Amino acid sequence: MEQVTTEQRFREVIAGSKPTVAVFKATWCKDCHFIDPFMPQVEEAYQDRLNFIHIDRDDLPDLCSELNILGIPSFIAFRDGQELVRFVSKLRKTRDEIEQFLDRALEVSNALQK
């Protein structure tokens, strides 16, 4: 997963035609660390259909404010620079919930292509 540290790079990546999932995290976030062990396998399973980027909320606070990122980890899917769908909850996210979100992001992306 690419670590994005500038707003310019963020906007470049999400502008692509392949859907991109931005994962907003922070080093101090316990729920963010909870997903770390299984996220590489999740990314590998979806790598042919989705791009993944990681953004540390503390590195890009203005962008997070613009995107209304309040809780972390937050997942937002983009395509062609537009937000498709987001997964934000106050509860700890499970692998199954994250995969359901990724499937939903692909459904929305495919529906918009038709």
Six-digit token pair at 68? 């209304």
Q: How buried is residue 77: exposed, middle or buried, by Cβ count under 10 Å (0-12/13-18/19+)?
A: buried
Tell me the helices (H) and strands (E) count for the chain, helix number first: 5, 5
> Is 64 annotated in the active site?
no
**Which among 29, 42, 88, 108 is annotated as catalytic?**
29
**Which among 32, 35, 76, 85 is annotated as catalytic?**
32
> Is 32 annotated in the active site?
yes
Task: Tell me the catalytic residues.
Answer: 29, 32
